């Protein structure tokens, strides 16, 4: 009889061989059952087409535009500052008051200058009297000199007459001497002629002496004339110096009446009445807001289009922007107040024109400062306001415009999808395009699309080029055949 231990070992060996056998039998049974059943094929997947919306490509007038921040500046700004230091006596205008060019806006203290002017007025009267006295002395000296010159001329005539009488007396005496020797005349006649000759000689000597005295008188009086002339010049110079000082002080006195250099509105008073104001210190500013300037930083690539007076612009446009025409216009826009629902309310829009264009770019931003000039009705715009500059650069009378939502950005550049009818099906085809510019939610296409092509504007996400698509909306109208609207496409 077997022991319990032996019985247990036999049972374990039997279980070890029976388990694989049972598994093999089960597999055979399953295979047999599967072979006896009919094989069911899986259903074919339903073809799904993307639902898309298309529009016909059309050409429209289009303006190449810029919308840039702008800073409002007054057409003119001027500073009120004194040329000479002094105490501010009075403001003649109030803060915010409008003034005209040349109008007195403030007064400096003039007490000291007026006192000095009084002294100079007295000095000028004295100098003028000295000039008059010197001129009278000069006139008398000239008259005396003229009389002495005439007296000298008279003496010269007497001298000539005396010399002629002496010559005649000498001739008569010589003739008498000869006749006395011949016994024709008595010796008494010789004595008489000799005496006349002696008198003639004495007369000549007397006139010569008088001539010398007259010459000395003329020279003495001539020196007096020069002295009188010099005294007159000195007196006149002294008078001129006094008058120059007086005129200088009068100019300074006038400049102590501070005037507005331009017409405009006076900003706040920076100096109070009674305070000392140094020369050149700014006392107030004047802004002329009858017209304004808007300073705009324009990117360098747009600056050539702003110089519409340049004859080379048309050629540049034909090379860079085919079909474009120069047509620069501008507006300055001050946005309205923000709305609770988003965006801004209606603002102020003012027509402007392009003024000064900077000749060099800002080295930091590489932009050019452009000034837009505009009228300022009612002085609505103020110095320092931030506005928007709306500048139209180029006009395209016939431009291809598409929504930006239709553009696909790929590693090969921007593309769009168009729909072509092939064998009764709408097939999506890719089109590489060359955008000329982007303005808001539209794109100006320079090339790549033709007028009349059917452009996919919605539902292109997931569309594979070359596959059919389901056009459910075309040119804003839904297609009437709803059987084509198979679910699964993306709109």
Average pLDDT estimate for 351-358:
92
Annotate the chain with three-state secondary structure: CCCHHHHHHHHHHHHHHHHHHHHHHHHHHHHHHHHHCCCCCCCCCCCCCEEEEEEECCEEEEEEEEEEEEEEEEEEEEEECCCCCEEEEEECCCCCCEECCCCEEEEECCHHHHHHHHHHHHHHHHHHHHHHHHHHHHHHHHHHHHHHHHHHHHHHHHHHHHHHHHHHHHHHHHHHHHHHHCCCCCHHHHHHHHHHHHHHHHHHHHHHHHHHHHHHHHHHHHHHHHHHHHHHHHHHHHHHHHHHHHHHHHHHHHHCEEECCCCEEECCCCCCCCCEECCCCCCEEEEEEEEEEEEEEEEHHHHHHHCCCCCCHHHHHHHHCCCCEEEEEEEEEECCCECCCCCECCCEEEEEEEEEECCCCCCCCCEEEEEEEEECHHHCCCCCCEEEEEEEEEEEEEEEEEEHHHCEEECCEEEEEEEEEECCEEEEEEEECEEEEEECCEEEEEECCCCCCEEEEECCCCCCCCCEEEEEEECCEECCCHHHCCECECC
Average pLDDT estimate for 39-60:
72
CATH class of 289-397: mainly beta
**Widest CA span of the chain, in angstroms?**
244
Question: How large a percentage of the chain has pLDDT more than 70?
Answer: 83
What is the reported pTM?
Answer: 0.59
CATH topology of domain 50-60+401-484: 2.40.420
How far is 70 from 391, CA to CA, in rounded Å?
Answer: 11
Q: How high is the pLDDT of residue 362?
A: 92
Contact 231, 132 (CB under 8 A): no
Q: How high is the pLDDT of residue 281?
A: 94
pLDDT tens digits, one per residue of 124-134 = 888 888 888 88
Residue position matching structure tokens 């002395």: 137
The total of other beta-carbon atoms located within 10 Å of residue 74's CB is 24
Residue position matching structure tokens 């007038």: 61
How far is 190 from 98, CA to CA, in rounded Å?
Answer: 114
Beta bridge partners of 429: 418
Give CATH for domain 82-108+257-282.
2.40.50.100
How far is 374 from 351, CA to CA, in rounded Å?
Answer: 6
The pLDDT of residue 343 is above 80: no
Average pLDDT estimate for 238-252:
86
pLDDT tens digits, one per residue of 181-228 = 777 777 787 778 778 878 888 888 887 887 788 788 778 888 888 888
Question: Alpha carbon of 267 to those of 79, 93, 282: distances in Å?
Answer: 10, 10, 12
Banded pLDDT at 394 (limits 50, 70, 90): confident
Banded pLDDT at 36 (limits 50, 70, 90): low
Across 166-175, 252-261, 357-366, 403-412, least confident range: 166-175
CATH level 2 (architecture), domain 112-255 = Orthogonal Bundle (1.10)
Contact 169, 197 (CB under 8 A): yes
Q: Where are the domains of the chain?
A: 50-60+401-484, 82-108+257-282, 112-255, 289-397
The pLDDT of residue 239 is above 80: yes
How far is 164 from 401, CA to CA, in rounded Å?
Answer: 125
pLDDT tens digits, one per residue of 461-486 = 778 888 898 888 888 888 865 444 44
User: Minimal CA–CA distance to 210: which of 155, 151, 150?
Assistant: 155
Q: How high is the pLDDT of residue 320?
A: 63
Q: CB-based contacts of 16: which residues, under 8 Å, 6+ apart?
A: none
Contact 64, 437 (CB under 8 A): yes
How far is 270 from 106, CA to CA, in rounded Å?
Answer: 12
Contact 384, 65 (CB under 8 A): no
């Amino acid at each position: 009889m077997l022991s319990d231990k032996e019985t247990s070992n036999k049972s374990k060996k039997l279980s070890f061989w029976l388990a694989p056998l049972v598994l093999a039998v089960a597999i055979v049974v399953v295979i047999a059952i599967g072979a006896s059943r009919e094989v069911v094929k899986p259903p074919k997947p339903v073809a799904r087409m993307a639902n898309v919306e298309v529009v016909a490509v059309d050409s429209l007038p289009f303006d190449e535009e810029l919308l840039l921040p702008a800073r409002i500046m007054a057409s003119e700004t001027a500073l009120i500052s004194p040329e000479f230091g002094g105490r501010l006596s009075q403001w003649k205008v109030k803060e915010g008051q409008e003034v005209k060019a040349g109008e007195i806006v403030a007064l400096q203290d003039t007490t000291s200058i007026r006192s000095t002017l009084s002294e100079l007025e007295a000095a000028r009267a004295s100098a003028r009297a000295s000039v008059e006295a010197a001129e009278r002395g000069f006139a008398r000296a000239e008259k005396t000199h003229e009389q002495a010159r005439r007296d000298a001329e008279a003496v010269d005539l007497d001298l000539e007459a005396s010399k002629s009488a002496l010559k005649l007396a000498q001739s008569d005496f010589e003739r008498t001497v000869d006749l006395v020797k011949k016994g024709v005349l008595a010796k008494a006649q010789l004595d008489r002629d000799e005496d006349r000759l002696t008198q003639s000689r004495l007369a000549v000597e007397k006139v010569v002496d008088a001539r010398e005295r007259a010459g000395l008188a003329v020279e003495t009086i001539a020196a007096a004339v020069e002295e009188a002339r010099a005294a007159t010049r000195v007196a006149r110079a002294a008078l001129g110096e006094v008058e120059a000082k007086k005129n200088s002080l009068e100019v300074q006195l006038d400049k102590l009446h501070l005037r507005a250099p331009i017409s405009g509105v006076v900003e706040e008073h920076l100096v109070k009445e009674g305070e000392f104001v140094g020369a050149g210190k700014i006392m107030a500013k004047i802004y002329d807001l009858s017209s304004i300037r808007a300073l705009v930083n324009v990117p360098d690539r747009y600056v050539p289009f702003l110089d519409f007076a340049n004859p080379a612009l048309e050629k540049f446009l034909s090379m860079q922007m085919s079909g474009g025409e120069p047509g620069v216009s501008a507006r300055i826009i001050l946005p309205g107040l923000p709305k609770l629902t988003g965006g801004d309310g209606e603002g102020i829009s003012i027509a402007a024109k392009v003024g000064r264009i900077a000749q060099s770019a800002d080295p930091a931003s590489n932009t050019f400062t452009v000034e837009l000039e505009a009228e300022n009705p009612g002085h609505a715009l103020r110095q320092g306001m931030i506005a928007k500059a709306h500048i139209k650069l180029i006009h395209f009378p016939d431009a291809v415009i598409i929504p930006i939502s239709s553009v696909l950005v790929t590693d090969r550049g921007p593309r769009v999808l168009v729909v072509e009818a092939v064998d009764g099906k709408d097939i999506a085809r890719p089109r590489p395009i060359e955008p000329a510019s982007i303005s808001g939610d539209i794109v100006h296409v320079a090339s790549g699309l033709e007028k009349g092509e059917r452009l996919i504007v919605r539902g292109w996400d997931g569309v594979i080029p070359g596959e059919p698509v389901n056009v459910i909306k075309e040119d804003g109208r839904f297609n009437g055949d709803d059987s084509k609207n198979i679910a699964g496409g993306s709109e």
